[in-house]
Amino acid sequence: MTVVVLTGATRGIGRAAAIELARRGAEVALVGRDPERVRSVAEEATAAGGGGRVHGHVADLALMSNVRILADEIRGRHEHVDVLANNAGALFASRKETPEGFEQTFALNHLAPFLLTNLLRDRLAGGRVVTTASGAHRSGRLDLDDLQSEKSYSPRVYGTSKLCNILFTRELARRAPELNANCFHPGVVRTGFAKNENGIWKVIATLGAPFLRSPERGAHSLVWLALSDDAAALTGKYIEDEQVVAPSDQAQDDNLARSLWEQSAQLVSLPADARS
């Protein structure tokens, strides 16, 4: 049975993907930060009728300490993970730091999947890593001297974090040939992901909802990359609507990908052999 670990599983495309993965018979480990939502989605996924076990993990992935606890929980339960779907992410209207001192967009959208993947790498051999990126990466501009957005903060920070997802995916594919690493743009999806903010972002998310993709459609590429035989040979690719697409020029910069990896590894205190 295929074992899938899915972060950001309680809303939007994460919830839709959890239900569809379970319906197709996968054993699904759901990750979310709200215990009640984790329980509710686990029940929905179980009711989908695929027969695989569904269980939940509660973690705030903006905190690297929680990422480490989650990795320990998964390692304690699973000798092998077939698919790690790094789907958790958010848009924040203003700059805030986590209690660990990281800018929260960078922490949740990039450092968390980077760290979790590295902590589970030995469990993933022969498996797949699927990371939710975004077409918004094309508006991002990565400054290696300002990863924490201390010089300036704007909506572009979200796009930059999605750019980091693609750079991470491509560098992971280079460093870890024993697994398949890909990322995807889900389309502009009707989710609650900007509604935790006040002001213009909440208004845009609410008014634009009728014109956006359903979460179920947005989850297609995630499920396809996780389970499809057609995706089995892909690695280091950026996907839109189940098709390989060229990302932005900066997202294809191998030196930038390498440098981001090395700096990220230092920030989350990975061993030296994971940094270069």
Residues marked as catalytic: 158
- E-only strand ranges, 187-254: 237-240, 243-244
Residue tagged 């269980």 (tokens): 55
Pairing of strands 128-132, 27-32: unpaired
How far is C-alpha 191 from the geometric centre of its chain's CA atoms? 15
State how far the Cα of 189 lies from the Cα of 59, in Å rounded to an integer.
Answer: 24
Q: What is the chain's length?
A: 276
Name, in order, each residue with C-beta under 8 angstroms of 193's C-beta and a sequence gap of 6 or more. 11, 12, 89, 90, 91, 205
Helix/strand/coil for 180: strand
State how far the Cα of 226 lies from the Cα of 21, in Å rounded to an integer.
Answer: 9
State how far the Cα of 161 lies from the Cα of 144, in Å rounded to an integer.
Answer: 12
